[in-house]
Amino acid sequence: MQVKEEFKPTIVAFCCNWCSYAGADLSGTNRLQYPANVKIIRIPCSCRLNPMFILRAFQRGADGVILCGCHPGDCHYTTGNYYARRRMTLLFSMLDYLGIERERTRVEWVSAAEGAKFAATMNDFVETVTKLGENKRLEDLRCKSE
């Protein structure tokens, strides 16, 4: 009997080194749980996130991509997250315009002190993406292992 396996989405979380990555560490230090499907990639600043990386993640099988950075005004590099905010807003709007589920992409500002927010955000995001199901609209079939 084949039991239908529960869908576990692949989530890529890009976290800026100074706030959100530290926030993620803090949620670990505080033993706050969030699903293992979330894998974090450390980037120096949210402004390092090239839209290319997001599309790449979807191509390679991600079902959701989230960017976490310092709160606006708190960027370690002063202005990085302001640029990231515009870039991501426009990119997400474009993905939505192309009919790709807008819930698959998200930006959250998580400070180094917000371990609880990090865990809560991830839990919520995983739940949202799980409900959406597999990424079909921006998939690259070549990358889906048979």
Number of chain positions touching another protein (CB under 8 A): 87
Of residues 55 and 130, the one with the C-beta less far from another protein: 55
Neighbouring-strand partners of residue 67:
14, 107
Of residues 2 and 97, the one with the C-beta less far from another protein: 97
The DSSP line for 19-83 is THHHHHHHHHHTT----TTEEEEEESSGGG--HHHHHHHHHTT-SEEEEEEPPTT--TTSSHHHH
110 touches another protein by CB under 8 A: no
In the list 57, 68, 126, 129, the residue contacting another protein (rule: CB under 8 A) is 57
d(CA 118, CA 114): 6
Of residues 1 and 36, the one with the C-beta less far from another protein: 36
Helix (H, G, I), strand (E, B) or coil at 122: helix
Of residues 2 and 109, the one with the C-beta less far from another protein: 109
31 touches another protein by CB under 8 A: yes
Nearest-approach distance from CB 58 to another protein, in angstroms = 8
143 touches another protein by CB under 8 A: yes
